[in-house]
Every structure is written in structure tokens, then in C-alpha cells.
Amino acid sequence: MGRGKIPIKRIENQTTRQVTFSKRRAGLLKKTHELSVLCDAQIGLIIFSTTGKMCQYCTEGYRMEQIIERYQKVTGTCIPEHDNREHLYNELAVLRKETRRLQLSMRRYTGEDMSSIPFEELDQLEHELERSVIKVRERKNELLQQQLDNLRRKERILEEENSNMYRWVSKWFN
């Protein structure tokens, strides 16, 4: 009795899929090695599992880099190397410059290092600070008004309770 034909589609059960992957990966690596030895072929095989693990085979006597370089020469493709150091240094320089600018701006608002600021900027800074003070006062007054309204409400409630209690007590003692 022979094996039944398995339909080629994604295996939904994760455990079954992982077992099948392991068995077929081993078979694929064995066949790759046999093809390399029997036919004297240069083969580079890279497999990534769904868990992200890498498995590779490279013909004996060669390195994967050599096979990839040969592939690139034949196909004319290039795998870009990601050396982000220069980009990171440029970004770091931009961030340092921005940090310095923000620190200078903060010093102006706190009153430090005012000697190098021209008159026009000082005048503008004064107006900004006055606007900020006005906003802070408005918010403070708004909060005080809310507290005052709450206290008045509580006062009315307490007065009503006091009046009700006075009526209740006067009923019992009169």
C-alpha cells in the first residue's frame, strides 16, 4: 500500500505544521546535500521558520558569502548593506542642535543668560511672558470661581438641612 497524496495547502494546526516543517526541512537538507555531492553543484540554502529561526546549508568548501556574491554577479542584483552609522550620527547631531536650541530658549524664560539677547527679542519675550501670566491668572480665577460656586452650593444644602432639622425638632418639643 502506497502513501496517499497530500494536498499542498497551509496546515492549520500549529503543532502539526511545526512537526511537518521539521521533518520536511531535514529531508530538504538531505536532498540538497545529495544534489551538491552527486552533481558537484554549488548550493546555498537558507530557511527561516515561522518562529524566526534560521537554518542553512552551503556546499562543502564554500562559504555562504561566496555563493551569494556569485548569485549577485550572475543576476546583476545587489543586496544593500545597512550601515546606519552615518545616518545615526547625522540624526544625533540634529538632535543635539535641537537640544541646545531648546535649552537656550528655556534659559531665556527662566531669566538666565539674558546678556546676549538683543532688545527686540527681549521685548518679544516680555510680551510672551505677560501673555503667559494672563493665561495663568485666568485659569487660577476660573478654579477659584468653581470652588466658590461649590462652597455656595454646599452652604445652601447645609442651610436647608439645618432648617429641616429645626422644623423637625420644633415639632417634637412644641
pLDDT for 121-158, tens place per residue?
888 888 988 999 999 999 999 999 999 999 999 999 99
**Domain contains 83:** no
Q: Which domain holds residue 169?
A: 121-173
Q: pTM higher than 0.85, yes or no?
A: no
Beta bridge partners of 46: 56
Q: What is the mean pLDDT of residues 17-27?
A: 91
pLDDT at position 83, please? 66
Number of folded domains that form the chain: 2
The CATH number assigned to the domain holding 22 equals: 3.40.1810.10
What DSSP designation does 54 have? E
Domain end among 55, 75, 95:
75
Separation CA 107–CA 44 (nearest Å): 61
Domain annotation covers residue 163: yes
Q: What is the mean pLDDT of the chain?
A: 88
Output the pLDDT for position 82: 65
Is position 98 within any domain?
A: no
Examine residue 129 and state whether it is found in any structural domain, yes or no.
Answer: yes
- Residue 85 covered by a domain: no
